């Protein structure tokens, strides 16, 4: 994080001088005794960075001493969320070293450094490049009509104090389409120092959809007056790693806190593996008011993807010109809303291109969220998510389109009642004496609905939960038994109310 503080120190100085594998509880997802949170995932099938693991420190003992003892070195730190990246000692594999570390009370969680991908372009016009476009191309952008954008623009076209951050391959800020567009200083989480360079083209296309100024250039985006912040997370080798995403989200959280800035973060990327570290980084960003919006994925079927499936994130499916699900768009309970994602025209490299995918759908929603915050600046990220869902064009919820295709005009209307519940988990653990506890939350079908660790007061609060029955598990270090233990309770969460789960361990 040293480089982040140097970055923001530089910004402040400038301002002064310039005035899954998911295992169910049992066969068929029965509510039997769940697996410990520390062993819940099998990462062996996923693509990971070799030679490195991510470790979350417990509140007891010294993680650094453990790593030194095992011949490992800390290569990167994120103190705001309590995680580090550590090298795998010679003679160990990522998997074997993770197993070794799980035996220590000083290690709360350990996971691999996962690789993520851009959703593969799918369907009609997979990537149709317009080499020499002629004249205004706005009439070819069918999506704005379907989301009622033009009527919404009569009310607001965004605001300069609501930033749209594009967590992607970088953004070509020098593209002719962006002439006159407001950008804020970007951040390169890969360490290569090129946030304003897009070697792929994906990030530029996404940025154009979200926030290109429709009054200039040949195409338009959704949030005309919202600045774009490029946040590069794909390195020059084409890799997107968990560590880059953590860095990006911590950067946005810090930026929002230092400058009291409202930010919408678009993440048109994903992976099948659940990362506790990435979830902590997303929770940190959300706690600072950052709205996180992610592409649902282009797997044609019910395939879970992260960050889209994390609770608190707005997951976006892709729709067709007839407001139906695009055939490639992933389905699932985690889908929040849908937006146009078939043959979408935007800026691309040296020109323009049509592309299809949930990568294109997500930035429509990010732009819409920026307009919503311009109109209602006091809304929290959960309230933004709720408003997008409750004003969408669907009738109820379905796994194909979530709550339906967004309706920007309805979205800017009266704020809708909260359609989510809250769960407060209390324990009698004293982190200073007993260490932290890991809390996992499972829905009635056995799917992981939430994760967190207890704070200094021994509790954790889950926001944005759908109504229903949940199993709450607490994994903690049992000092007398010198081992990790797990206990669990069942609880029912109702909409608009606060449920409680209390663990009394008498430790």
Domains of the chain in start order, with CATH, are 127-411 (3.40.50.200), 421-503 (2.60.40.10)
- Reply yes or no on whether 359 is catalytic: yes
Q: What is the mean pLDDT of residues 233-252?
A: 97
Quick check: 245 pLDDT over 60? yes
Quick check: 147 pLDDT over 80? yes
Helix (H, G, I), strand (E, B) or coil at 315: strand
Q: What is the mean pLDDT of residues 467-477?
A: 94
* The most confident of 131-145, 241-255, 465-479, by mean pLDDT: 241-255
What is the per-residue DSSP string for 492-506? EE-TTSEEEEEE---
Question: 306 and 275 in contact (C-beta within 8 Å)?
Answer: yes
Quick check: 1 pLDDT over 50? no
pLDDT digits (tens, 9 = 90+) for 49-95: 999 999 999 999 999 999 999 999 999 999 999 999 999 999 999 99
Question: 413 and 406 in contact (C-beta within 8 Å)?
Answer: no
Strand 83-87 relative to strand 48-57, pairing? antiparallel
What is the per-residue DSSP string for 326-380? PTTS--STT--EEEE-SSEEEEETTEEEEE-SHHHHHHHHHHHHHHHHHH-TT--
> Is residue 129 classed exposed, middle or buried when 0-12, 13-18 and 19+ CB atoms within 10 A define those classes?
middle
Token couple for 448 = 């992981």
**CB half-sphere exposure, 60, CA atoms < 13 A:** 17
> Is residue 27 classed exposed, middle or buried when 0-12, 13-18 and 19+ CB atoms within 10 A define those classes?
exposed
Q: pLDDT category, 5, cuts 50, 70, 90?
A: very low
What is the per-residue DSSP string for 170-187? ---TT-GGGTT--B---E
In this prediction the pTM is 0.91
Share of the chain above pLDDT 70, in %: 89
Of residues 474, 469, 477, the one with CA closest to residue 439: 474
Q: What is the mean pLDDT of residues 170-175?
A: 97
pLDDT confidence of residue 29: 29
Out of 346, 359, 366, 459, pick the active-site residue: 359
Distance (Å, whole) CA 86 – CA 55:
7
Q: pLDDT category, 188, cuts 50, 70, 90?
A: very high
What is the per-residue DSSP string for 217-255? SSS--S-TTSPEEEEE---TTS-EEHHHHHHHHHHHHHH
Helix (H, G, I), strand (E, B) or coil at 311: coil
Residues 6+ away with beta carbon under 8 Å from 455: 431
Residues 38-51 as b or e (16 or more Cβ within 10 Å = b): bebbebeebebbee
Quick check: 119 pLDDT over 80? no
Helix (H, G, I), strand (E, B) or coil at 473: strand
Q: What is the mean pLDDT of residues 364-383?
A: 98
Out of 175, 202, 460, 463, pick the active-site residue: 202
Question: 186 and 248 in contact (C-beta within 8 Å)?
Answer: no
Distance (Å, whole) CA 247 – CA 234:
12
Strand partners, 24: none
Task: Give the lowest-confidence range in 69-73, 258-262, 476-480.
Answer: 476-480
Q: What is the mean pLDDT of residues 116-135?
A: 60
Signed CA dihedral, 365, 371, 376, 380: sign only? positive
Of residues 301, 281, 297, 208, the one with CA closest to residue 241: 281
Token couple for 342 = 């078939």
Residue 139's CB: how many other CB atoms inside 10 A?
Answer: 8
pLDDT digits (tens, 9 = 90+) for 400-452: 999 999 999 999 999 999 999 999 999 999 998 889 999 999 998 888 899 99
Token couple for 419 = 């359609």
Distance (Å, whole) CA 18 – CA 12:
10
Chain mean position to CA 36: 24
pLDDT confidence of residue 493: 97
**Average pLDDT taken over every residue of the chain:** 89
- Reply yes or no on whether 202 is catalytic: yes
pLDDT digits (tens, 9 = 90+) for 272-291: 889 999 999 999 999 999 99
Residues composing the chain: 507
pLDDT confidence of residue 462: 94
pLDDT confidence of residue 20: 30
pLDDT confidence of residue 218: 92
- Reply yes or no on whether 136 is catalytic: no
Distance (Å, whole) CA 83 – CA 246:
10
Q: pLDDT category, 124, cuts 50, 70, 90?
A: very low
Q: Radius of gyration (Cα) for the chain, nearest Å? A: 22
What is the per-residue DSSP string for 88-132? PPTT--HHHHHHHHTT-TTEEEEEEEEEEBPPPP-STTTEEEESS
Question: 306 and 98 in contact (C-beta within 8 Å)?
Answer: no
Quick check: 35 pLDDT over 80? no
Question: 59 and 476 in contact (C-beta within 8 Å)?
Answer: no
Quick check: 341 pLDDT over 60? yes
């Amino acid at each position: 994080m040293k480089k982040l503080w140097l970055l923001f120190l530089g910004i402040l100085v400038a301002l002064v001088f310039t005035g899954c594998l998911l295992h169910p509880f049992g066969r068929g997802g029965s509510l039997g005794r769940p697996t410990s949170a520390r062993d819940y995932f099998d990462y062996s099938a996923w693509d990971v960075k070799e030679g490195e693991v991510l470790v979350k420190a417990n509140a007891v003992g010294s993680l650094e001493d453990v790593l030194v003892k095992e011949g490992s070195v800390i290569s990167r730190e994120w103190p705001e969320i309590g995680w580090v990246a550590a090298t795998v000692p010679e003679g160990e594999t990522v998997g074997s070293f993770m197993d070794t570390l799980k035996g220590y009370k000083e290690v709360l969680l350990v996971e691999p450094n996962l690789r993520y991908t851009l959703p593969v372009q799918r369907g009609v016009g997979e990537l149709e490049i317009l080499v020499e476009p002629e004249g205004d191309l706005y009439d070819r952008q069918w999506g704005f009509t379907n989301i009622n954008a033009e009527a919404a623009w009569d009310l607001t076209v965004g605001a300069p104090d609501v930033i749209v951050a594009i967590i992607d391959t970088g953004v070509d800020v020098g593209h002719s389409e962006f002439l006159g567009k407001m950008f804020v200083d970007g951040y390169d989480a890969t360490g290569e120092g090129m946030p304003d360079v897009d070697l792929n083209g994906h990030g530029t296309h996404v940025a154009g959809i979200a926030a290109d100024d429709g009054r200039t250039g040949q195409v338009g985006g959704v949030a005309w007056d919202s600045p774009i912040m490029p946040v590069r997370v794909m390195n020059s080798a084409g890799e997107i790693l968990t560590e880059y995403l953590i860095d990006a989200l911590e950067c946005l959280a810090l930026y929002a806190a230092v400058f009291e800035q409202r930010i919408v973060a678009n993440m048109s990327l994903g992976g099948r593996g659940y990362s506790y570290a990435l979830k902590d980084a997303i929770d940190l960003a959300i706690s600072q008011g950052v709205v996180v919006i992610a592409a649902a994925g282009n797997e044609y079927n019910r395939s879970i993807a992260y960050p889209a499936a994390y609770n608190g994130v707005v997951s976006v499916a892709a729709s067709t010109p007839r407001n139906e699900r695009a055939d490639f768009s992933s389905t699932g309970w985690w889908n929040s809303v849908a937006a146009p994602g078939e043959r979408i025209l935007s800026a691309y490299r040296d020109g323009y291109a049509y592309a299809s995918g949930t990568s294109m759908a997500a930035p429509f929603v990010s732009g819409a969220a920026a307009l919503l915050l311009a109109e209602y600046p006091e809304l929290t990220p959960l309230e933004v998510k709720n408003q997008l869902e409750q004003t969408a064009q669907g009738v109820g919820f379905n796994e194909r389109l979530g709550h339906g295709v967004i309706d920007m005009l309805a979205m800017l209307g009266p704020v809708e009642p909260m359609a989510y519940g809250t769960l407060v988990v209390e324990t009698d653990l004293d982190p200073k004496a007993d260490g932290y506890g890991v809390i996992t939350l499972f829905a009635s079908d056995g799917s992981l609905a939430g994760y967190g660790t207890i704070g200094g007061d021994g509790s954790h609060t889950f926001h944005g939960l759908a109504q229903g029955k949940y199993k709450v598990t607490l994994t903690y270090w049992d000092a007398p038994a010198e081992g990790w233990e797990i206990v669990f309770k069942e609880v029912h969460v109702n909409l608009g109310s606060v449920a409680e789960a209390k663990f009394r361990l008498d430790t």
